[in-house]
């Protein structure tokens, strides 16, 4: 497990990061570990604000977090144009996610990326980083796909844009989590940029991360489900799902789905991953109907600390919220720190001029007609 070290104060010699829609700080922690100074961060969620301040004030030497709606707060005046190294824009994913209604630009949250573009135009950082769910790739913008329109906007601001669909597990996160990552590099930065290399030989099985020592922060925090969910979950064997339960023990609604399983596209409710498997995607909703929330062998769901480990947070990163549900939500919404660290390191390599070449696909207008697959070469928009 990674460990947070108290190391620096703002104003040092390390490259700087401004963070928008920071959540509890997963992306920011990754960039800190990669050698960057976070000098300003913002989110409107009160639980995230508590957690961010508790962890990052000791890292930065001061409180860099500004709580409030991005529409209502002022841009930091101490950050000067062309002097910022990286702008992180983790704009909310709910409007794009397959777990939600996918209302795209019809959802107010689906237009918050516009504030990221406004900040980029104002500060002209050397690099920008956006991270979002896979469903972001298929959301329509005003005239074409939204990721195309955002890329066009960055190009008009004199950035080249690198995009790929990545699996966080390829970068040391013990979880199969597919995410879209967009990195913009200002065109006057002459060093080449490439996405980080995948890490080989990693053992990310659940049995390597569930040995949480007694007394570890947030290990006693466990979300409560309805009684029927526990009843069904208890019938699922290690490595199985609701399909492993005898038909006569299923509740009426699941019998109906089983009887019409082709119509429902073979859903995999109540997944209980084996100790020998990599965990599935941790979600903010943390519902057994759409995520593997059950401990492999115990008659309970994962604790908050266990899902934090699955998200690659270190044990000394603590979570504070008004409710246990709030803790689960912020962890599920977070960018895994080790995923962010890998991209932070790739940008640091570009800054230092030591980036290693990687396969790329030059963007063409025909490319969006083909699916963007995990592990495919990064697409470069120029």
Query: pLDDT of 120-149, one tens digit each?
Result: 999 999 999 999 999 888 888 888 888 999
Concatenated DSSP letters for 13-74?
Answer: SS-EEEEES-TTSHHHHHHHHTT-EEEEEEES-HHHHHHHHHHHHHHHSS--EEES-TTTSP
The DSSP string of 143-188 is SSBHHHHHHHHHHHTTEEEEEEEEEGGGGT-SB--EEEEEEEEETT
pLDDT digits (tens, 9 = 90+) for 44-103: 999 999 999 999 998 888 899 999 999 999 999 999 999 999 999 987 755 555 554 445
Q: Which residue out of 3, 24, 48, 93 is catalytically annotated?
A: 93
Q: What is the DSSP string of 277-308?
A: S-B----SS--TTTS--B-SSSSSBPPHHHHH
Q: What are phi and psi of 299, to 5 degrees?
A: -85, 60
Listed residue (280, 265, 219, 271) closest to 244, CA to CA: 271
pLDDT at 5: 38
End-to-end Cα separation, the chain, in angstroms: 38
The residue with tokens 């109907």 is 289
Give the H or E element holding residue 361.
strand 360-362
> Quick one: pLDDT at residue 365?
47
Q: What is the pLDDT of residues 199-247, one digit of tens each?
A: 989 999 999 999 999 999 999 999 999 999 999 999 999 999 999 999 9
Per-residue b/e over 163-194, b at no fewer than 16 CB within 10 Å?
bbbbbbbbbbbbbbbebbbbbbbbeeeeeebb
Q: Where are the domains of the chain?
A: 16-202+335-381
Q: How many CB atoms lie within 10 A of CB 93?
A: 22
Clarify whether 48 is annotated catalytic: no
CA-based radius of gyration for the chain: 21
Q: How far apart are CA 58 and CA 8, in angstroms?
A: 9
Q: Please name the residues in contact with 107: beta carbons below 8 A apart, sequence gap of 6 or more.
A: 94, 95, 101
For 329-354, the pLDDT digits (tens) are 999 999 999 999 999 999 999 999 98
Look at residues 365, 214, 233 and name the one whose alpha carbon lies nearest to residue 292: 233
Q: How far apart are CA 376 and CA 135, in angstroms?
A: 17
SS3 206: helix
Q: Give the span between the Cα atoms of 114 and 123, in whole angstroms.
A: 14
Residue 108 has pLDDT above 80, yes or no: no
- CA separation for the pair 186, 127 (Å, rounded): 6
Q: Give the C-alpha separation, 322 to 172, whole Å.
A: 31
What pLDDT sits at residue 382? 82
Confidence (pTM): 0.91
pLDDT at 136: 87
CATH number of this structure's domain 16-202+335-381, picked from the four choices 1.10.357.10, 3.40.50.1010, 1.20.1250.20, 3.40.50.150: 3.40.50.150
Mean local confidence (pLDDT), 106-129: 87
Task: Report whether pLDDT(109) > 60.
Answer: no
Place of tokens 């799902």: 241
């Amino acid at each position: 497990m990674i460990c947070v070290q108290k190391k620096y104060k703002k104003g040092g010699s390390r490259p700087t990061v401004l963070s928008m829609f920071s959540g509890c700080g997963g992306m920011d922690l990754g960039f800190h570990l990669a050698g960057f100074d976070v000098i300003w961060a913002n989110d409107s969620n009160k639980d995230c604000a508590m957690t961010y301040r508790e962890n990052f004030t000791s890292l930065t030497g001061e409180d860099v977090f500004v709580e409030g709606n991005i529409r209502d707060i002022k841009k930091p005046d101490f950050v000067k144009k062309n002097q910022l190294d990286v702008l992180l824009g983790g704009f909310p994913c709910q409007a794009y996610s397959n777990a939600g209604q996918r209302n795209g630009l019809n959802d107010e949250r689906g237009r918050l990326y516009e504030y990221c573009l406004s900040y980029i135009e104002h500060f002209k950082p050397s690099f920008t980083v956006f991270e979002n769910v896979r469903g972001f790739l298929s959301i329509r913008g005003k005239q074409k796909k939204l990721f195309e329109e955002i890329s066009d906007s960055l190009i008009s601001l004199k950035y080249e844009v690198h995009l790929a669909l990545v699996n966080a597990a390829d970068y040391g996160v013990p979880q199969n989590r597919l995410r879209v990552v967009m990195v913009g590099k200002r065109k006057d930065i002459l060093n080449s940029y490439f996405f980080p290399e995948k890490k080989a030989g990693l053992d990310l099985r659940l049995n390597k991360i569930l040995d949480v020592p007694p007394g570890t922060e947030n290990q006693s925090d466990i979300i409560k489900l309805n009684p029927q969910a526990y009843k069904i979950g208890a019938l699922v064997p290690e490595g199985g799902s609701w399909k492993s339960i005898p038909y006569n023990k299923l509740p009426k609604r699941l019998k109906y789905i089983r009887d019409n399983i082709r119509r429902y596209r073979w859903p995999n409710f109540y997944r209980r991953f084996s100790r020998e498997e990599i965990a599935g995607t941790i979600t903010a909703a943390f519902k057994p109907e759409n995520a593997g929330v059950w401990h492999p062998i115990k008659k309970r769901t994962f604790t908050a600390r266990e899902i934090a480990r699955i998200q690659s947070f270190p044990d000394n990163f603590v979570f504070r919220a008004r409710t246990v549900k709030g803790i689960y939500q912020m962890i599920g919404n977070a960018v895994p720190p080790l995923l962010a660290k890998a991209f932070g390191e790739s940008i640091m390599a570009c800054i230092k001029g030591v980036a290693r070449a990687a396969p790329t696909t030059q963007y063409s207008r025909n490319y969006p007609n083909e699916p963007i697959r995990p592990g495919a070469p990064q697409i470069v928009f120029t």
